[in-house]
Protein backbone atom coordinates (compact mmCIF):
# COMPACT_ATOMS: atom_id res chain seq x y z
CA UNK A 1 0.00 0.00 0.00
CA UNK A 2 1.30 3.48 -0.87
CA UNK A 3 2.56 5.48 2.11
CA UNK A 4 1.30 9.05 1.86
CA UNK A 5 3.05 12.10 3.26
CA UNK A 6 0.64 14.66 4.72
CA UNK A 7 1.11 17.09 1.81
CA UNK A 8 0.55 14.28 -0.71
CA UNK A 9 -2.64 13.27 1.07
CA UNK A 10 -3.83 16.90 1.10
CA UNK A 11 -3.06 17.22 -2.61
CA UNK A 12 -5.13 14.08 -3.39
CA UNK A 13 -8.04 15.26 -1.23
CA UNK A 14 -8.16 18.53 -3.19
CA UNK A 15 -9.54 16.40 -6.06
CA UNK A 16 -12.63 15.42 -4.03
CA UNK A 17 -15.75 17.20 -5.33
CA UNK A 18 -17.75 19.13 -2.72
CA UNK A 19 -21.41 20.06 -2.22
CA UNK A 20 -23.11 21.21 -5.41
CA UNK A 21 -25.90 23.02 -3.56
CA UNK A 22 -25.17 23.11 0.20
CA UNK A 23 -28.19 22.89 2.50
CA UNK A 24 -28.22 25.45 5.29
CA UNK A 25 -30.43 23.38 7.61
CA UNK A 26 -27.90 20.55 7.53
CA UNK A 27 -24.96 22.95 8.11
CA UNK A 28 -23.23 21.61 5.03
CA UNK A 29 -19.78 23.13 5.05
CA UNK A 30 -16.98 21.21 3.33
CA UNK A 31 -14.10 19.79 5.36
CA UNK A 32 -11.13 21.57 3.80
CA UNK A 33 -8.43 19.25 2.34
CA UNK A 34 -5.83 20.81 4.64
CA UNK A 35 -7.89 20.05 7.77
CA UNK A 36 -8.95 16.61 6.54
CA UNK A 37 -5.31 15.67 5.83
CA UNK A 38 -4.17 17.01 9.21
CA UNK A 39 -6.86 14.98 11.02
CA UNK A 40 -6.32 11.75 9.11
CA UNK A 41 -2.53 11.90 9.16
CA UNK A 42 -2.57 12.31 12.95
CA UNK A 43 -5.13 9.52 13.46
CA UNK A 44 -3.08 7.23 11.21
CA UNK A 45 0.50 8.06 12.22
CA UNK A 46 0.17 8.93 15.91
CA UNK A 47 -2.57 6.52 16.99
CA UNK A 48 -2.63 3.83 14.26
CA UNK A 49 -6.44 4.00 14.23
CA UNK A 50 -7.05 3.75 10.46
CA UNK A 51 -4.96 1.06 8.72
CA UNK A 52 -6.81 -2.29 8.65
CA UNK A 53 -9.48 -0.83 10.94
CA UNK A 54 -13.26 -0.62 10.46
CA UNK A 55 -13.94 3.13 10.33
CA UNK A 56 -17.21 5.10 10.42
CA UNK A 57 -17.50 8.66 9.11
CA UNK A 58 -20.59 10.32 10.60
CA UNK A 59 -22.20 13.15 8.63
CA UNK A 60 -19.80 12.21 5.83
CA UNK A 61 -21.15 14.68 3.26
CA UNK A 62 -19.26 14.27 -0.02
CA UNK A 63 -16.83 11.84 1.58
CA UNK A 64 -13.49 13.62 1.99
CA UNK A 65 -12.72 11.98 5.37
CA UNK A 66 -13.94 8.57 4.17
CA UNK A 67 -11.87 8.76 0.99
CA UNK A 68 -8.78 9.84 2.94
CA UNK A 69 -9.29 6.95 5.39
CA UNK A 70 -9.65 4.47 2.53
CA UNK A 71 -6.47 5.80 0.91
CA UNK A 72 -4.60 5.30 4.20
CA UNK A 73 -5.56 1.62 4.20
CA UNK A 74 -8.73 1.34 6.29
CA UNK A 75 -10.06 -2.22 6.23
CA UNK A 76 -13.42 -0.64 5.46
CA UNK A 77 -14.73 2.89 5.85
CA UNK A 78 -18.48 3.51 5.90
CA UNK A 79 -19.88 7.02 5.55
CA UNK A 80 -23.25 7.88 7.09
CA UNK A 81 -25.29 10.89 5.98
CA UNK A 82 -28.95 11.89 5.81
CA UNK A 83 -28.60 13.75 2.50
CA UNK A 84 -29.02 11.74 -0.73
CA UNK A 85 -27.56 14.56 -2.87
CA UNK A 86 -24.32 14.61 -0.86
CA UNK A 87 -24.07 10.81 -1.03
CA UNK A 88 -24.48 10.94 -4.80
CA UNK A 89 -21.40 13.19 -4.98
CA UNK A 90 -19.63 10.90 -2.48
CA UNK A 91 -20.36 7.88 -4.70
CA UNK A 92 -18.94 9.68 -7.74
CA UNK A 93 -15.84 10.64 -5.76
CA UNK A 94 -15.28 7.06 -4.56
CA UNK A 95 -15.60 5.78 -8.14
CA UNK A 96 -13.14 8.37 -9.46
CA UNK A 97 -10.60 7.37 -6.79
CA UNK A 98 -11.25 3.69 -7.64
CA UNK A 99 -11.60 2.73 -3.99
CA UNK A 100 -13.17 -0.59 -3.02
CA UNK A 101 -12.77 -0.39 0.79
CA UNK A 102 -15.48 2.24 1.11
CA UNK A 103 -19.27 2.27 1.42
CA UNK A 104 -22.05 4.67 2.37
CA UNK A 105 -25.39 4.54 4.16
CA UNK A 106 -28.20 7.08 3.94
CA UNK A 107 -29.69 7.57 7.41
CA UNK A 108 -30.22 10.04 10.24
CA UNK A 109 -26.98 9.71 12.21
CA UNK A 110 -28.68 10.60 15.49
CA UNK A 111 -31.13 7.71 15.24
CA UNK A 112 -28.83 4.83 14.32
CA UNK A 113 -30.00 1.56 15.92
CA UNK A 114 -28.52 0.14 19.14
CA UNK A 115 -27.17 -2.83 17.12
CA UNK A 116 -24.51 -0.45 15.81
CA UNK A 117 -22.94 -0.25 19.30
CA UNK A 118 -19.21 -1.07 19.27
CA UNK A 119 -19.24 -2.20 15.63
CA UNK A 120 -16.47 0.18 14.49
CA UNK A 121 -12.87 0.44 15.68
CA UNK A 122 -12.70 4.15 14.94
CA UNK A 123 -15.25 6.90 14.31
CA UNK A 124 -14.21 10.11 12.54
CA UNK A 125 -16.44 13.11 11.98
CA UNK A 126 -16.79 16.77 11.28
CA UNK A 127 -20.26 17.16 12.80
CA UNK A 128 -22.61 20.14 12.47
CA UNK A 129 -21.33 22.69 14.97
CA UNK A 130 -24.77 22.93 16.54
CA UNK A 131 -25.38 26.55 15.57
CA UNK A 132 -28.43 28.34 14.18
CA UNK A 133 -31.23 25.75 13.75
CA UNK A 134 -29.18 22.80 14.99
CA UNK A 135 -28.53 23.49 18.65
CA UNK A 136 -27.20 20.36 20.33
CA UNK A 137 -26.61 18.42 17.10
CA UNK A 138 -22.85 18.32 17.71
CA UNK A 139 -23.37 16.57 21.07
CA UNK A 140 -25.99 14.19 19.62
CA UNK A 141 -23.44 13.15 16.97
CA UNK A 142 -20.78 12.70 19.65
CA UNK A 143 -23.07 10.56 21.79
CA UNK A 144 -23.84 8.32 18.78
CA UNK A 145 -20.14 8.12 17.84
CA UNK A 146 -19.11 7.05 21.34
CA UNK A 147 -21.67 4.26 21.26
CA UNK A 148 -20.37 3.02 17.90
CA UNK A 149 -16.61 3.15 18.55
CA UNK A 150 -14.63 0.35 20.17
CA UNK A 151 -11.42 2.39 20.46
CA UNK A 152 -11.72 6.11 19.72
CA UNK A 153 -13.73 8.96 18.24
CA UNK A 154 -12.01 11.82 16.41
CA UNK A 155 -14.02 14.97 15.92
CA UNK A 156 -13.94 18.71 15.23
CA UNK A 157 -15.71 21.08 17.63
CA UNK A 158 -15.75 24.85 18.01
CA UNK A 159 -13.07 25.88 20.51
CA UNK A 160 -15.63 28.10 22.23
CA UNK A 161 -17.56 24.95 23.26
CA UNK A 162 -14.54 23.13 24.76
CA UNK A 163 -15.55 23.51 28.41
CA UNK A 164 -19.07 22.31 27.71
CA UNK A 165 -17.75 19.27 25.82
CA UNK A 166 -15.21 18.50 28.56
CA UNK A 167 -18.00 18.52 31.13
CA UNK A 168 -20.04 16.09 29.00
CA UNK A 169 -16.99 13.86 28.52
CA UNK A 170 -16.45 13.81 32.29
CA UNK A 171 -20.13 12.98 32.85
CA UNK A 172 -19.87 10.15 30.31
CA UNK A 173 -16.54 8.98 31.83
CA UNK A 174 -14.75 9.36 28.51
CA UNK A 175 -11.17 10.52 28.11
CA UNK A 176 -10.93 13.69 26.01
CA UNK A 177 -7.68 14.97 24.45
CA UNK A 178 -7.43 18.15 22.37
CA UNK A 179 -4.90 17.14 19.72
CA UNK A 180 -4.76 20.45 17.85
CA UNK A 181 -6.35 23.87 17.60
CA UNK A 182 -7.17 24.62 13.98
CA UNK A 183 -8.55 27.55 12.05
CA UNK A 184 -11.54 26.41 10.02
CA UNK A 185 -11.94 28.55 6.94
CA UNK A 186 -15.67 28.64 6.18
CA UNK A 187 -16.26 29.69 2.58
CA UNK A 188 -19.19 31.97 1.77
CA UNK A 189 -21.43 29.04 0.81
CA UNK A 190 -24.72 30.74 1.53
CA UNK A 191 -26.34 33.93 0.30
CA UNK A 192 -26.48 35.53 3.77
CA UNK A 193 -22.68 35.38 4.15
CA UNK A 194 -21.32 38.89 3.66
CA UNK A 195 -17.60 38.01 3.71
CA UNK A 196 -15.88 35.70 1.25
CA UNK A 197 -14.81 33.46 4.11
CA UNK A 198 -14.83 33.39 7.90
CA UNK A 199 -12.24 31.79 10.17
CA UNK A 200 -13.61 29.77 13.08
CA UNK A 201 -11.35 28.35 15.77
CA UNK A 202 -11.94 24.61 16.13
CA UNK A 203 -10.51 21.87 18.33
CA UNK A 204 -9.48 18.55 16.86
CA UNK A 205 -10.35 16.16 19.68
CA UNK A 206 -9.76 12.48 20.42
CA UNK A 207 -12.30 10.80 22.68
CA UNK A 208 -11.23 7.36 23.85
CA UNK A 209 -13.71 4.86 25.13
CA UNK A 210 -11.36 3.35 27.66
CA UNK A 211 -14.10 3.40 30.26
CA UNK A 212 -17.72 2.32 29.82
CA UNK A 213 -19.51 4.79 27.60
CA UNK A 214 -22.84 3.10 27.01
CA UNK A 215 -24.24 3.80 30.44
CA UNK A 216 -25.27 7.10 31.91
CA UNK A 217 -25.07 9.00 28.62
CA UNK A 218 -27.77 11.63 28.86
- DSSP assignment of 142-211, as one string? HHHHHHHEEEEEEEEEEGGGHHHHHHHHHHTT-EEEEEEEEEEEEE--STT--SSEEEEEEEEEEEE--S
pTM above 0.85, yes or no: yes
In the predicted model, is pLDDT for residue 215 greater than 60?
no
Helix (H) or strand (E) holding 122: strand 120-125
Q: What is the pLDDT of residues 62-116, one digit of tens each?
A: 999 999 999 999 999 999 999 899 999 999 999 999 999 999 999 998 888 888 8
In contact, 98 and 71? CB cutoff 8 Å: no
In contact, 164 and 143? CB cutoff 8 Å: no
Model confidence at 214, in pLDDT bands (50, 70, 90)?
very low
Mean confidence (pLDDT) of the chain: 85
Amino acid sequence: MKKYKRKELESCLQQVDGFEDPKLLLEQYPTRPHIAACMLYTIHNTFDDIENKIVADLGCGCGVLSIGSAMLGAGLCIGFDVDADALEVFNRNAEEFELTNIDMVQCDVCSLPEEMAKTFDTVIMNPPFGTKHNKGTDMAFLKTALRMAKTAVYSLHKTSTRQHIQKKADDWKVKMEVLAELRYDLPASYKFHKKKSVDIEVDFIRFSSEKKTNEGMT
